[in-house]
Amino acid sequence: MRRLMMRDVKSVIVVGGGASGMIAAISAARQGAKVVILERLNRIGKKLLATGNGRCNLTNTNMDISFFHGTDPKFALGALHSFDYKQTIDFFDFLGITPKVEGEGKVYPYSLQSSSVLDVLRYEIAALNIMEKCDTEVLDIVPTRPGFIVKTKSGQLKGDSVIIATGGKASPQLGSNGSGYVLAEKLGHRLTEIYPSLVQLKLYEKYVKQMKGVKFEGKVSVGVKDKALRVECGEILFTDYGISGPPILQVSRTAIEQISKGKSPWVEVDVFPQYSKKELQELISTRLAYSGTKPLDFSFVGLINKNMIPVVLQCANIKDIKVLAYEVTEQQIQKIVEVLKNWRMSVKDFNSWDQAQTTAGGVDVRDVSPKTMESKIVKGLYFSGELLDIDGDCGGFNLQWAWSSGFIAGENAAKE
């Protein structure tokens, strides 16, 4: 009579209960592993609830490596191809999330609620008997032969594999406090420079306070000296400290990267991207001709936000903004057009980690396998998500990286 050999159930410890950690846990459990999630906060998935302004931009159908950044962005291709946006949509569709594709390929749950995504993930976690240990801060990860000992404030756990999915430093109030970097360094991994990304920018110009709350559809460029480094379009918002809005978040990484190199970046705003300079000059000249004896500042009411008018005229070096419209010279109109089309402001700083949506930099990908997410230094140790030196643009790219890297890490961590 033949003896049936039963394979030992592999145990996987996932450090971090964010998007990447949750999908890693599910992926590992589906491979038959016994999985536990260790989360520092009192519940898993808090940061996920804030994504997409509470709507959860799951992924993007226009997935391309050009939307990802880092020392070696192509590292992300392994995971993004192994678990792509179509598989992500299918994964969540199976869990109950009907996809809704909106502009620029952004994919949301049809309910337009981030809570829906967290609910189905937690339901699947419970169905797979994955243990959640919240209010559990990991202090150290010690490789043993075989497996690992994971030390926490409340005790220690033994596991065959460990996945570090703690996130970066962005939005620490939602769980990411940078603790994963300390764990990675202790285990011999290199880190690249870490700084906030997808965050608002602070400007030197004090007049921005006068335009607090002003928003418009425009174009923004960021650069240094005479070279533009990145251009984005969308809704731009002035604040009391500087400038915000989706296109500003997109270019913020470039601006902050230049600051970290000791350079002085600028942002240049085009308030009327739909018009050429010649067309805008003709429009304003005609408008002032019709205004006749109206004051110059009042002549722009209905064309641009009223709080912006005096600042634009000030930046165009027009001292008397009450001058009558018919008295304005062509040279002055040219200066106004120059401001509206090429309004350059100096970047002073950027908002804190609390305001940042993601982290640029992190665990050096040279120390990690792009196919499995396993460490090249410590066998059985895996990384996923924002902790790695990969970050994406707005539009679902960072979540796709979390899903892809987490799924691949979980799948491989559960294998023999």
Q: Are strands 195-197 and 358-360 parallel, antiparallel or unpaired?
A: antiparallel
pLDDT beyond 70 at 4: no
Res. 1: pLDDT tops 90: no
pLDDT over 80 (residue 100): yes
In the structure, what pLDDT confidence band is assigned to residue 8 with cuts at 50, 70 and 90? confident
Q: How far apart are CA 104 and CA 262, in angstroms?
A: 34
Band the pLDDT of 7: cuts 50, 70, 90: low
53 has a pLDDT exceeding 90: no
Helices 114-127 and 85-95, axial angle in degrees (round to 10): 70
What's the rounded Cα separation, in Å, for the pair 146 and 129? 24
Backbone conformation region of residue 262, classed left if phi is above 0, alpha if psi is from -120 to 50, else beta: left
- 157 beta partners: 150
pLDDT at 304 over 50: yes
Averaged over 68-94, what is the pLDDT?
A: 98
Phi-psi region of 263 (alpha: psi -120 to 50; beta: other; left: phi over 0): beta
Percent of the chain with pLDDT over 90: 94
Mean pLDDT confidence for 3-21: 81
Inform me whether the pLDDT recorded for 195 exceeds 80: yes
- Percent of all residues in the chain with a pLDDT value above 70, rounded to a whole number: 98
pLDDT score, position 228: 97
Judging by DSSP bridges, how do beta strands 227-238 and 215-224 pair with one another? antiparallel
Residue 281 binned pLDDT confidence (cut-offs 50, 70, 90): very high
Q: How many CB atoms lie within 10 A of CB 393?
A: 21
Domains in the chain: ranges and CATH: 11-196+359-413 (3.50.50.60), 200-350 (no CATH)
Residue 64: its pLDDT value, please? Answer: 96
Token pair listed for 329 = 């010279």
Please say if the pLDDT value at position 79 is more than 50.
yes
| Whether pLDDT at 82 is above 60 | yes
| Candidate from 49-53, 156-160, 190-194, 256-260 with smallest mean pLDDT | 49-53
Phi and psi at 236, nearest 5°, equal -105, 140
Respond yes or no on whether the N-terminal peptide bond of residue 146 is cis (omega within 30° of 0). yes
Query: Mean of the pLDDT values across residues 135-148?
Result: 96
The DSSP code sequence of 354-376 is TT-SEEE--B-GGGB-TTT-BBS
The single-letter code of the amino acid at 148 is F
- Give φ, ψ of 391 to 5 degrees: -140, 155
Q: What is the mean pLDDT of the chain?
A: 95
Does the pLDDT at position 5 exceed 70?
no
